[in-house]
């Protein structure tokens, strides 16, 4: 897995300058306008963009076929993508935390806000990786927009059709946090298992 992970980091380096400039522009806008959400949003999206770019390069170069001719196993291909995704999301979280704290001067608020965006990044990553393995980078872009809209539609539907008393119970900080953690773990485990299943049966 280590070799595959190093290869993915080298692949990210090809796009790093573009993503860094893109992020820097939004960071400056956020600081200049005293609105950290400009950078918060971009630091949620850029890690996923970088992860997707590694799939695109793999697909173009037929790297998986070459890798499987070596000592790498199919499980290593999956593990490397999830490891890369987590590393990129953590980097995005730290950049978010720095920017929001710099603007708001409220450290605890920055932690909460950065954590929310990190959860969204992990959710998006968990949804995208199996799609990338199954359909490839190009075809999966169609589904990415639906995945982005999914959480917003769920929140709108929940607030519109659920009893207000139930909403108050669910939004209790302890219950809400516990529910999010359990849901996120379930999505991650399901995503990983499904990715393993796809790759184990895929004909490279």
72-109 pLDDT, tens digit per residue, is 888 999 999 999 999 999 988 888 888 888 877 778 87
For residue 172, what pLDDT is reported?
A: 55
Identify the pLDDT of residue 90.
92
Predicted local confidence at residue 52, as pLDDT:
85
Q: How far apart are CA 162 and CA 164, in angstroms?
A: 6
Q: Cα(46)–Cα(52) distance, rounded to whole angstroms? A: 10
Provide the pLDDT for residue 120. Answer: 83
What pTM was computed for the model? Answer: 0.81
How confident is the model at residue 100, as a pLDDT?
81
What is the reported pLDDT for 57? 84
pLDDT of residue 199: 92
Across the 204 residues of the chain, what is the mean pLDDT of every consecutive 10-residue run? 79 74 77 72 81 86 80 89 92 85 79 83 90 84 69 52 48 63 89 94 80
| Model pLDDT, residue 149 | 65
| Half-sphere exposure (Cβ direction) of 185: Cα atoms closer than 13 Å | 6
At 167 the pLDDT is 45
How does the average pLDDT of the chain come out, rounded?
A: 78
DSSP, collapsed to helix, strand or coil, labels residue 74 as helix
Q: What is the per-residue pLDDT for 154?
A: 56
Site of tokens 């849901």:
183
Residue 184 to residue 89: CA distance in whole angstroms: 14
pLDDT score, position 158:
47
Residues 6+ apart with CB under 8 A from 191: 126, 127, 129, 130
Distance CA 58, CA 153 (A): 33
Instruction: Give me the pLDDT at residue 166, please.
Output: 46
């Amino acid at each position: 897995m280590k070799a595959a992970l190093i290869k993915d980091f080298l692949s990210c380096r090809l796009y790093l300058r573009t993503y860094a400039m893109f992020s820097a522009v939004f960071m400056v806008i956020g600081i200049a306008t005293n609105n950290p959400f400009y950078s918060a949003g971009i630091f949620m999206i850029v890690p996923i963009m970088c992860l997707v770019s590694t799939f695109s390069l793999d697909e173009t170069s037929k790297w998986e076929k070459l890798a499987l001719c070596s000592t790498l196993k199919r499980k290593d291909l999956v593990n490397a993508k999830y490891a890369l995704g987590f590393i990129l999301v953590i980097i995005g979280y730290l950049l978010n935390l720095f920017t929001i704290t710099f603007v708001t001067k409220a450290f605890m608020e920055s932690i909460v806000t950065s954590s929310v965006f990190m959860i969204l990044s992990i959710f998006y990553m968990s949804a995208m990786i199996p799609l990338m393995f199954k359909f490839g980078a190009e075809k999966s872009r169609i589904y990415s927009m639906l995945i982005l809209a999914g959480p917003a539609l769920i929140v709108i539907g929940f607030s519109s059709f659920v009893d207000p008393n139930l909403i108050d119970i669910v939004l209790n900080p302890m219950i809400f946090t516990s529910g999010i953690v359990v849901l996120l773990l379930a999505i991650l485990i399901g995503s990983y298992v499904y990715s393993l299943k796809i790759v184990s049966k895929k004909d490279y």
